[in-house]
Each structure stands twice: as C-alpha cells, then as structure tokens.
Amino acid sequence: MRILQPALPVGFPIREVERMRGKWGIEVIIGALLVLCLIQSVAATATVVVAAADASQTSKETAQVFCDGVDDQIEINNAFNMLPAEGGIVQLTEGTFHSSGWIYPTANSQFLGAGEDKTTIDVYNAVDPYQPIHIYQDNVLVKGFTLRGEGFFLIRTNHVTLQDITATSIGANGIRYPSGGNGMFFIWVDNDHTGEITFQNCKAIDCNTHGFNMNANRSTMQDGTRVGSGSYAISNLKFINCQAVRCGFGVPDGSSSEFATGFDIQEDNDLQNVEMDNCLAEDNWENGFHFEPGYLNTKNVVLNNCVSRNNGQRNPAQAPYHDVFVSGYYIHRNAILNNCISVNNKNAGFFVHDGLNTTFNNCVDQGSTYGFKIVKGCADITLNNCQARNDKGWALWSAFTKNLQVKNFFQANAAGESGYQDNLGYYYSQPQYELPVEGSSFDITAYGSSLPIINKDGSGNTYSLKTASADQLPTMPADIIAATVPPVYVTGSVVAVSTTPVTIVATTTPVATATPVVTQVSTSSDPWSSIGKGTGFSSGGFGTFGGASAFQSGGLNKLQVTTSTSSFRATAIGSSWGGFGGRSYAF
C-alpha cells in the first residue's frame, strides 16, 4: 500500500522536510495500527439484534432474529448461539417477548434490553413454573428490561452484573403468578466458583417469593457424600441502589412459602465480602434484610445508608413474636451497618440473634415494636451513636449476651413493657434463652418517657443513664422512594397494566412437572441440565429440604435425596439455635 504524504510549501528547508517525512511515516503507521485495532475490537463485539413480535418496523429492520410472540426463548437462545466464541451482545428491541422456557446467556456476553420501560420478558408455562434466565457461564452482563410472571434469574457462576432490571410476579396480563424460583434474583452455590456478582439498580416488586435470595447446596446422600461442591461461599457480592418491595404474600395468596423476605442474603451459603449501598426493603412478608445466624461462615458484611420499613405488617402474626421474624434487619456476624434506617417494622427494627462482632454506627429505628433486639447467644456487639424512637415496646432489648457495648444511645418516647423502657435478661420465659447480659456497658440518654430507663439485670455491667429535657433529632440519610413496576410498552405508546387489585393465581400444592420445553440452545456444557432441567422443580422452587433438615427455604424437593441433619451443628456451637421460631429447623 502506497502512503501519500502531504505537499510541502515551496522553499521549505530540505532537512526539515526529511525530518517531518519520517515523523509522518511513523504517525501514519501508528494510525494504521490503531485503525486495525479498532476494526478488530468492533469485530470482537458482535451484536445480534432480536426483535419482539410487537416491535416497531424500524426496529425490525435492524434485527437479525425475529420473534413471533410464542416460545420466544427459542429465538433468544438462537441469538446467543450466533455469537462467536469470544462473546458479544444480544440486543432485544422494545416490545414484549413471551417466554415459556429457560434462557441461557453464554460466556462473555451482554444481554441487553431497550430499557425497563420499553422491553419486557413475560414468562409463563402452564405445566412447570420453574423457567429462569439461567446464568451459569462466566462474564455476563444483563441490563435494561422488566422480567414478569414466572420469570426469575438463576445465577451459578462468577463475574456477573445485573443492572437496571425490574422483576415482578405480575404478568403482562395483570395476573400475579406463583413463583417457580426461590427468589427473583437467585444465587445458588453448587460449585467452587460463585462470586464477583453485582446487582445495580435492580428491583424486585410484587413478588410471590424472596426478592433476592442466596443459598447453597449442603445436601448429602445417605452415605454422607456431598451433593454439591466443596465450597458454600458467595464472595465479593454487591448491591447498589437495589430494592425489594412487597415480596411474599403467604401461602394462601400464592407464595410458595410463608417465609419470604426482601433481601435473603444468607440462607445455607457462606458469605465473604458483601457490600449493600442505598438499598430499600419495604412491605415484605417477613424480614426486610435477612442473614441466617449460627454455623454459617460470614466475613466482612457492610450495609451503608439502607432503609427497611413496614416489613411484616401484612403478616397476620401477633405478639409475642417468638415464632416469626418480621423485622427490619435480621443480621448477626462480622457485619457493620452504617447510617441504616428502620421504620415501623412489625417486630424489631434491628434484630441480632446468635451474633458476633457486629457494629451499628448511626443507625436509627422509628416506630417498630422493639428498636434493637440482641438475644440468644450474642457477643461483641456494638451500638455507636444509634437511636430508637417511638417504639411500641422496648427501645433496647438484650438477653443471653456478653460484651454488648452501647455508646451514646438516644431513645425517645419508648412505650416500654413490664415497667421499663429497656429490658435485659428476659426472653419469652424460655429458660434456655432467658439468660443474663454480662460484661457489657450502657450509655443511654432517654427522652419523653417517665418509666425507668433499664432494669439493670445481669452481672459485670456498667451504666451511664441520663434523662434529656429536649429531643435530639438524628441526622438522617436521604430517604429512598419505592419504585413501581414499569408499565407494559406498546409500540408507539405506553399502556399501564393495573396492579391493584390484581388477580392472584394461588397454589398450595406443588405444580406437576413435565419435560421442559426443548430449545435450540446448546446445553452440553451446562452441569445443571441433569438436575434442574431434566428433573424439573415444583412451584416452590427449592421449596423445602424435607428429610432431616426441614429447611423451608433451601434444598431440592424433586431430587429425592436425603439431607444431612443439622442437629450436630447446633450441638457443636452450643448457642441459641435450638428451637428458635420462624421456620422449622428440626434441631
């Protein structure tokens, strides 16, 4: 290829001409290399556009794959198969895609919609509601659409980002369907590489199951052989500006289990390095934010500026709340909560059970029954500059706890119980848990109540108790407004689907399973195929373990394996696990 050099002015010094010709030559070569790199980069980012049946004609003219509105997962999976081995982009147009089967993003791919208010994937299968978007290969980005009906995300791998996604059990037709999955955003650990997962601006709204659910396969065969892998851990997990709103409706109203929370971050899985920033849990059936206590391995959990309000209020459970959770934050081990807010949760705002090394900085409860509830085998819990305001019972309640450090705690208008604003030592007259608080310190300022501040039960405790003549309003982070489900997009206009009142399809018995719909996507490398797709699951998803463990929100109904009993774990810990309520643990 001949490189043309620019013409030079008459009389230009010849030495300078030679110097600049050399310079131009180098620059041209560098420019050519940059162009080649750009071409290669563009070629590596292959894009396949998939048009919805109701997409605009303009959008269809840019598409390579066309859906007809029936079993659209087939065309979507075919689009992923069209990508080169190094990955690429599957871009959905505006409109509604109607799916009845599994969708499989491939490795190093991006699965993009035109926006939550423009692209909808509506999932319904009359025989088997377990129809996820299954992310089981590494390096996947999912962004920009609303997932409706029976759809949910099943994640079983590394390096996954979900961004700008709304998930709801309400189908495009306005009917709320029973959920097949154990969470609208569901991570299941059955391998040694689950982590580096980020949820950003993801919303679970009006869901029959957990909004977000993390779990692991600890099942064993009768000979003690582990069904899952050697690791139970989810590592490096982030939630940024995420919301869980109205998750769970009780079994009679169509949920697969009465235990449904907003963020169920830890069930049977270990956790390593978790960050939650500016997240909202509102009006969920059970807890807003839920972490299992006890034998689980938890490291470095941090919540910043989160809000949990009105959780458990739709749940018919009545006080005393020793057989349900219905709290704002149920969190225990190796955790730090900074500037987190609890408002009007049915039981406790902040509930620590069998906790260890957990700190609350500038956290505030307003109007829950109990502000801070720290019970059943806790140690090394710290409250720094926290407040409990307008609580219906005790502002601070602790029993069976060592080294509880309450520093600069302010409580306002606590209604109190049993003649005190705060209580130490009592726990529902259950002798195994009604044990003293020891080696702790309490620096408390109270306002607005004539009751004594605290009963001072226990041993080795120190107290600095003051009564304030004026209220001290806390410095609050910005409130988080609950999102709503985007309306269904219709080409050329937006038509909202009514969500109140909503028709409910209720199932209290497992839905019969059948052979899943066969798609054209290759699943030869998918280890889940012999379990999840080949066997199918009931409407409860991973509903109950059954067998010895009887964990209500983990396990594999349809595998018919014998699960290991958990009693030995409780014995080894010697803590408060035996008999605590909410779910049946069969300890």
pLDDT, tens digit, for every residue of 20-33? 444 444 444 445 45
pLDDT at 227: 58
Token pair of 544 as six digits: 């109950």
95 backbone φψ class: left, alpha, beta (φ>0; ψ -120 to 50): left
pLDDT at 179: 82
Nearest to 366 by CA among 384, 341, 385: 341
pLDDT at 323: 83
pLDDT at 104: 98
The CA-atom distances, in angstroms, between 403 and each of 194, 201, 356, 417, 438 are 35, 38, 10, 24, 7
Q: How far apart are CA 181 and CA 256, in angstroms?
A: 9
pLDDT at 558: 28
Contact present, 199 and 243 (Cβ < 8 Å)? no
pTM of the model: 0.80
Nearest to 282 by CA among 239, 330, 344: 344
pLDDT at 221: 63
pLDDT at 37: 46
Q: CB within 8 A of 586, min separation 6: which ones?
A: 548, 549, 550, 565, 566, 567
Tokens 């399973």 found at: 513
Token pair of 266 as six digits: 């830890």
Measured in Å, how far apart are the chain's first and last C-alpha atoms? 79
pLDDT at 21: 44
Longest CA–CA separation in the chain, Å: 104
User: Which residues on neighbouring strands pair with residue 494, listed in sequence order?
Assistant: 489
Angle at the Cα of 322 from the Cα atoms of 419 and 443, rounded to 5 degrees: 45
Contact present, 113 and 80 (Cβ < 8 Å)? no
Regions of the chain with pLDDT less than 70: 1-44, 220-230, 295, 492-587
Q: How far apart are CA 66 and CA 291, in angstroms?
A: 43
Nearest to 209 by CA among 249, 174, 252: 249
3-state helix, strand, coil in the chain (%, to 5): 10, 35, 50
pLDDT at 137: 96
